[in-house]
Amino acid sequence: MRPHAIAAVAVAAPAVALAGGNSPGFATLDRTGDATAAGAALTWLNVDALDEGGQRIELYGQWLADGGLGAYASLSAARATAAGDANTALGNLEIAAVWAAPRAPLRSIVRAGVALATAGDTVDDAFANLQAAQARITDAPATITGDVTWLRVAASPRAVRGRGTVRVDLGVDVPVAGDGRADANTWLRVNAAAGIDTGSVAAGIEWTNRIAVDRVDRGDDRLLHELALSVRYLRAGRLQPFVALALPLDGPGADLLNWAAIAGAEWTFARARAR
């Protein structure tokens, strides 16, 4: 299997609906939402190829103006230990413009931006990033390939009815520059998630996937997908801690990843804009 195919195998993180309509969104789908917010997520991975497992930390944030236009950024770092050697690497910096579309009939978020090739391109960097990329399928391989810059475009409609939320991500990642561009795939994703808000906690289930558009080697799977369950605490004001457990479904991920545990928190600076 080629490295960029391995990088696309990932696990899902928290999938929840937040109280008050000011959620940044389902955390393993695109992190964009209808509020100004910032967060951090730490993932522990149990991977057969690693002696002591792997870890991934990600910082992300979004700013929205009253009119619905705004900006988004994220950056991750990874650590993996194999054969007694610990490797640490920085991921790609992602920056994007976002737009929170009018609410009726759906709350939709549109994003367009780039993942810059800021990740290290040594063998050790690639190893750490490739293993830790299994923690988040919706951003891999765009955020971990140090020799490729990616164009990332997505639209995320979200329906809210009572205490329930359903969200879908329709996105494409296209390699546009860098030494590794010729060998990189174009990837589609059609993710889906559903959550329920009880008032004190929110629980969710999320299915994430990645679909290769063009170059697929013999023996590789075109579809890579994962499933996760999560819980988020809603009674801490603007701070919302979350935990999740994720498992791979059929495909290459099932051969690499055993499980992943995720813990993190998000802080909402401003409620969703009035529409």
The Cα–Cα gap between 212 and 16 comes to: 27
The Cα–Cα gap between 60 and 90 comes to: 14
| 260 neighbors 229 (Cβ within 8 angstroms) | no
The Cα–Cα gap between 247 and 241 comes to: 21
Residue 274 burial class via C-beta count within 10 angstroms: exposed 0-12, middle 13-18, buried 19 and up: exposed
Domain ranges in the chain are 3-270
pLDDT tens sequence for the chain (275 residues):
433 333 333 333 333 333 334 344 577 788 888 889 999 999 998 877 666 678 999 999 999 998 889 999 999 999 887 767 788 899 999 999 999 887 666 788 999 999 999 998 888 888 888 878 777 888 887 878 888 999 999 999 988 888 899 999 999 999 999 988 988 889 999 999 999 999 899 989 999 888 888 766 654 568 888 898 988 998 888 999 998 888 888 655 556 778 889 899 999 997 655 44
Q: Other CB atoms closer than 10 Å to residue 218's CB: what's the count?
A: 4
> Tokens at residue 165, please?
């939320």
Collect all residues with Cβ–Cβ distance below 8 Å to 104 and sequence separation of at least 6. Answer: 275
| 138 neighbors 15 (Cβ within 8 angstroms) | no
The Cα–Cα gap between 162 and 176 comes to: 42
User: What separation, in Å, do the N-terminal and C-terminal C-alpha atoms of the chain show?
Assistant: 47
| 71 neighbors 124 (Cβ within 8 angstroms) | no
Query: Under CATH, to which class is 3-270 assigned?
Result: mainly beta
